[in-house]
Structure 1
């Protein structure tokens, strides 16, 4: 019997679908599809994907962001990144339903590489919803909630902490602090979940469910993880929130993760 994000055979089920996009966000998705197709024409684009709360059907009007991944036939160039930034700006300014747009760019070679099999490959196969082009998931394996998957998805949290500290020190506006708190909180909650994922025996990308799953395994940190899940959904400009995430919960989690699962394979 399927449950906890798994299909009836125990594989992690793909979590999103275009049919789950809430009606209030269909215009945003349609505009994103058209903009991407126009900006990356001429065979540059292999495929495009949605991910996050919108294709999961849990997006909140005026709060959720729009997340896209573009798979290019060759390595992304500066021109590609500039085109992606223009799409982000136009969509964010045109649709009050969303609060921000993020576009990831990767080559198909990277996404299908052996090194990324249990990180970006898993991301495409299980967490991304096809929007344009041929689905790369057809060339990827199926996945179970294993320690290997845990290590390769989030076994590098320690590398993010110094950059977050610098950004927090440089953040001078509420807008910047909110954006950073959302990014940091989401990463920490998802890392907390994958820390316990093999023991929990399933998959979820829902922040609240992730925090609740984490709690019984680390009750002394359960309250912090629940607070982080709230910040991931409704970002905070309060400097103390960033301090707790970056200087307390984050370092503890990074150290515990390496102890339990080991470090993620080094990327070039």
Structure 2
């Protein structure tokens, strides 16, 4: 068992998140091996972001209610529950940010489990106006600790999730550096997503309201992919979309404006259909090709 140091969601399962951001500039442009940016400890490992101590006071009631109700609903079926996203990072915006939960079950989640999680999330969303929805991921303990998921779902749990209930599976996972292996296994499957995105766009109602969630989701996915493309060279970690875009801009100035725009739309999306077309016809394909060239393609997952 690999023990992690002191404690401070995988591309295929990430649910949309919300957090405040300030676009930053002026990074030093240091290369890996020449020091590091934020998010790393003294040994160069990615530090776990977020903690219960960072939760803003206004969000404590909904977190406490979620903790109690998860126990009531899932009981012994659940081995662990985590928070992730802006609430445990302390950057959530009242009425704008959602509550993001990850539940680890003893067995593979069933449709009944997912239905119960949706019902629980709906009840919390209705009861607590300070949040804008609840996103809940359900995974099994076996999958989380599998070799295939070590550098995707495992990394997500160990570095981006804050323990809320039960055992902390980070104790059974390695520590992670911002290297090419991690980049490939987290976001090296953008090409697969693009075909699905085109289908989603085609099946979405022709209204700004209907398109806005797609713009937000795809904007965030592209910004995170752009960031992990340069992460090994930037040598650091951040979950702030603005900082991600600025890190990318150091190495791809010709595409910097597109990623900065996507970072802004990831927080305050419009329903402009031309944005979605640019994503799937220009920025997305270029990013997928460059990612495969630099890091390779993510190891295939079972359907």
- Same fold by TM-score greater than 0.5: yes
Aligned counterpart, 2:181: 148
The count of corresponding residues between Structure 1 and Structure 2 is 267
- What is the distance in 2 between the residues matched to 1:108 and 1:175? 37
Deviates more, 1:240-249 or 1:44-53: 240-249
Counterpart mapping for 1:173-188 below 5 A: 173-188=207-222
Q: Which residue of 1 aligns with 2:91?
A: 58
Find the partner of 2:80 among 47, 59, 70.
47
Kept in 1, the 8 Å contact 2:36–2:235? The answer is: no
Rounded Cα–Cα distance in structure 1 between residues aligned with 2:51 and 2:177: 20
Does the CA-based 8 Å contact 1:2-1:9 persist in structure 2?
no
Residue 120, structure 1, aligned to residue 120, structure 2: no
SS at match of 1:204: coil
Q: Which has the higher contact order (CA 8 A, sep 6+)?
A: 2
**2:283 matches 1:249:** yes
Q: Which runs of 5+ in 1 are unaligned?
A: none
| Structure that is richer in helix per residue | 1
Summarize the alignment of residues 75-154 of structure 1 with structure 2, pairs less than 5 Å apart. 75-154=108-187
Structure 2 distance, partners of 1:181, 1:170, is 14
Q: 1:147 to 1:218 in 2, by over 3 A?
A: same
1:159 to partner: Cα distance: 0.9
- Higher mean displacement: 140-149 or 242-251: 242-251
TM-score normalised by length of structure 1 = 0.96
Counterparts of 1:91 and 1:246 in 2: how far apart (Å)? 34
Deviation at 1:154, TM superposition (A): 0.3
Aligned partner of 1:225 in structure 2 is: 259
Contact 1:63 / 1:234 at 8 angstroms: preserved in 2? no
By how many angstroms is 1:2 displaced?
7.8
* Corresponding residue number in structure 2 for 1:70: 103
Aligned-residue Cα RMSD (Å) equals 1.3
Deviations 1:126-173 (A, max 9, x none): 000001101000111100011000000000011111111121122214
- For 1:196 and 1:2, the matched residues in 2 are separated by 13
Which residues of 2 match residues 160-199 of structure 1 at below 5 A? 160-172=193-205, 173-199=207-233
Superposed displacement of residue 193, structure 1: 0.3
**Which whole-Å CA distance do the structure 2 matches of 1:184 and 1:218 have between them?**
20
Q: What is the alpha-carbon distance in structure 1 between the residues aligned to residue 203 and residue 281 of structure 2?
A: 16
**How far is the alpha carbon of 1:35 from its aligned partner?**
2.0
Alignment counterpart, residue 62 of structure 2, candidates 28, 38, 49: 28
- What are the ranges of 5 or more consecutive residues in structure 2 without an aligned counterpart? 1-34
User: TM-score, normalised on structure 2?
Assistant: 0.85
Q: Compute the displacement of 1:174 (Å).
A: 3.1
The reply to whether residue 214 of structure 1 matches residue 211 of structure 2 is: no
- Give yes or no for contact 1:165–1:246 (8 Å, CA) kept in 2: yes
